[in-house]
Chains A and B, each alone.
Chain A
């Protein structure tokens, strides 16, 4: 293990790198969720070919090519097309688009997995397509999408290390720099591993908790006067 002095010298730099790691992860995840939902909705019905086909190509291209190639493309290739992105933005774009392709499949499956009776009940109530999505279908799909989405979030967090290849000085990159200065690779990489774990493990626990909290069958009987009631009574009239 590294000595106390070594840790004291490395940690500020490593934590600084970790800030980039978190930034990239959060940015890419938000992008991936938004794009993933849009693509999922576009791919709900193969009969609407005008949107289904382009969306399918999007998913297949992003899933069928290496993530690292997509990152290189965003950072090294786009400038020759006149688009120069900063390393962090290129990393967020590359990781975000890539994850969006996978998430779109998760979301699509979750939406189509909502019981047929729920769609019929919503339709019979004359709900619009948007109203259905918002009030009846997506809230249910959302619940079944949480566990796989959590997995992708954690795997995105770890894949953010690939941003080091497009010269983002995130956690792994910083570690490599320290390693090349001190040649104490064993110690540096051990510390880095622990730092990744220190974030990914609590995240996976949090996802599990969220999943349990939203599980409808665990829902305890509501109190006679729920808060929403009181809020409505206070705000109304």
Chain B
């Protein structure tokens, strides 16, 4: 872990989660340090998406504990979730921006409206202040001229960049990315990865669930490999990609990096 003296920004202890009889998380422990970029990779159905969704309580847990910046977001023992104050959950969520696979932009609001909406309603920031901040963010995303467009008038890549700006507008301490390029046409993937790389370079703490292996290799400080609901391996990109300890990691990477080789 980088910057090990400080307490981790996000800390997940021994998470367990089942959907019916299927155990999707089998005791997952994960710490994310401040400024750290963690990429979670693994075959589909390995629990990556469920894991990242528990980190901001979009998914509840059956067992374990999640703390974000010292705030307990959810805690459960033996399938019983402790009832936590909704305000505390919101406090924790305020520190975490989330970007989804399917963008989930608000269709009735313009790009600018999407970015302004939450800071205005949650933090009570004045309209003018929200708007100028939102315009700055859209500009950073290369979308200054798209501020007045509605989501359906934007390409997938543009929509996803608006979604990133929307999450950043809350000034989060960390960003969660859940397969954010999986729903994009291949030629639009690059523009989204670029703004993510910029964010990482600016020191944003990031948790990224992704299938883009080269991107993970370039941007992440640490790679986490999941399979069947457990973390099977965790290490630096060089180590994971060049000398994986687990055969399952090697098999998975080979399948993803050489799909025509099967």
Contacts and interface: CB of A to CB of B under 8 A. Distances in A.
User: Which A-B residue pairs are the 7 nearest by beta carbons?
Assistant: A125-B118, A117-B104, A121-B104, A124-B98, A131-B121, A126-B93, A126-B94
Given A124-B58, A126-B170, A216 B121 contact: no
A48 to B, nearest CB: 13
B90 A121 contact: no
A123 interface: yes
Contact of B152 (A117, A216, A224): A216
A120, A121, A126, A134 interface centre (most CB from chain B within 10 Å):
A126
Q: Which of B93, B108, B167 has the most CB of A within 10 A?
A: B108
Interface in B113-166: 117-118, 121-122, 127-128, 131, 148-150, 152-153, 163, 166
Interface string B71-102: 00000000000000000001101101110101
A61 to B, nearest CB: 33
Contacts of B56: 124
B67 interface: no
Interface residues of A, number: 31
Interface of A: 115, 117-118, 120-128, 131, 134-136, 139-140, 143, 216-217, 219, 221-224, 226, 229, 232, 236-237
B70 interface: no
A123 B102 contact: no
Nearest to B59: A120
A30 to B, nearest CB: 24
Contacts of B148: 222-224, 226, 229
A222 B93 CA distance: 33
A232 B122 contact: no
B122 A131 contact: yes
B152 A217 contact: yes
B170 A125 contact: yes
19 contacts: A117-B102, A118-B104, A118-B106, A121-B104, A124-B96, A124-B97, A125-B118, A125-B166, A125-B170, A127-B121, A127-B122, A128-B90, A128-B121, A136-B106, A140-B106, A140-B108, A222-B110, A223-B148, A236-B127
Nearest to A221: B153
B107 interface: yes
Nearest to B102: A117
A237 B96 CA distance: 32
A118 B131 CA distance: 22
Contacts of A217: 152
A47 B224 CA distance: 38
B58 A136 contact: no
The A contact surface, by secondary structure, is helix
A123 B150 contact: no
A236 B127 CA distance: 9
Given A117-B104, A124-B93, A221-B153, 18 more contacts: A120-B58, A121-B105, A123-B58, A124-B167, A126-B90, A126-B93, A126-B122, A127-B122, A128-B90, A128-B122, A131-B121, A134-B121, A135-B106, A140-B106, A140-B108, A143-B108, A222-B148, A232-B127
B117 A236 contact: no
Interface centre among B90, B94, B167 (most CB of A within 10 A): B90
Contacts of A131: 121-122
A144 to B, nearest CB: 11
Contacts of A126: 90-91, 93-94, 118, 122, 170
Nearest to A124: B98
A140 B149 CA distance: 17
Nearest to A222: B148
A135 B104 contact: no
A232 B131 contact: yes
A169 to B, nearest CB: 44
Contact of B100 (A121, A136, A229): A121
B114 to A, nearest CB: 9
B107 to A, nearest CB: 5
B33 to A, nearest CB: 22
A216 B128 CA distance: 26
Contact of A121 (B91, B106, B128): B106
A219 B152 CA distance: 9
Nearest to A237: B128
B16 to A, nearest CB: 22
A216 to B, nearest CB: 5
Nearest to A117: B104
Contacts of B127: 232, 236
B117 A136 contact: yes
Contacts of A117: 100, 102, 104
